[in-house]
Structure 1
Amino acid sequence: MPFGYYSLKESIGSKSNCDQISQNDLLNLWWVLIVMSNTLFDSEKIAAFIKKNMVVFEEDEVVLKNDTNIFTSGFVNSMFAVMLLNFLETEYNIEVGDQDVILENFSSINAMERLVTRLQEDAHVV
């Protein structure tokens, strides 16, 4: 049984109706709370962050699509890469481990979405 089941039982007490709560009910409730606590990935928010922090986007002809490689396009320097990593960790309540700090995970908005989604799902596996 998940840890939360025992914690809930102990906090309510053994003489309550807690014994009538099934493991599945608690697991479902736990999952709903976790999903609600995560911020869903918003590609427009990431695009806005990139455009706000990069001088190149002051030019009208520059277009950023979700599959645009921001590194090969020259939009990102090393200082901005650190800012972007910090933004993703803060905004989406994730921790990007050293093994995930690779160009492939940050090359485009689509790649960042895959990374954030995977890290959020991995953090909530029972």
Structure 2
Amino acid sequence: MSDHDTTTIAAFVHQRYPQVEFAHDQDIFSLGFVNSLFATELVMFVEKTFGFTVPNEELRIDNFRTIDSIAALVGRQTATV
């Protein structure tokens, strides 16, 4: 997980919810900000921005709960590319 990846992901989430401040390890699902449309947008953003298709086995909510967990997913997937 790189700082650049984390910053890129945080910018995307903050762009969608500019009025809300939250930590990179805070669960955005439990805060009530994520609906099914935004979850889909988030997966599409990750795939397009970082250049890989999220494998079916990685399409788990835990991989998308926090900015840090999304960045960790990106790190794992881009390390294998």
Output the TM-score relative to the length of structure 1.
0.57
Alpha-carbon RMSD across the aligned residues, in angstroms, is 1.5
Amino acid at match of 2:37: M
Cα 1:115–1:41 shift into 2, 3 Å: farther
State the number of aligned residues: 79
Unaligned runs of 5+ in 1: 1-39
Cα distance in 2 for residues equivalent to 1:49 and 1:66: 12
**Deviation >6 Å, runs of 4+:** none
Tell me, yes or no, if the aligned pair for 1:41 and 1:117 is still in contact at 8 Å. Answer: no
1:51: which partner in 2? 14
Contact 2:63 2:73 in 1 (8 A): yes
Query: How much does 1:64 deviate?
Result: 1.5
51, 63, 67: which one pairs with 1:109? 67
More helix by share: 1
- For 1:26-75, what per-residue CA distance to the aligned partner results, in whole angstroms no more than 9, with x for missing partners? xxxxxxxxxxxxxx842222122112223xx43xxx32211010101111
Task: Tell me the TM-score normalized by structure 2.
Answer: 0.86
Q: Higher RCO, 1 or 2 (CA under 8 Å, sep at least 6)?
A: 2
Give unmatched runs, 5+ long, in structure 2.
none
Aligned mates of 1:87, 1:106 — CA distance in 2: 12
Greater C-alpha Rg? 1
Q: State how 1:1-126 maps to structure 2 within 5 Å.
A: 41-54=4-17, 57-58=18-19, 62-123=20-81
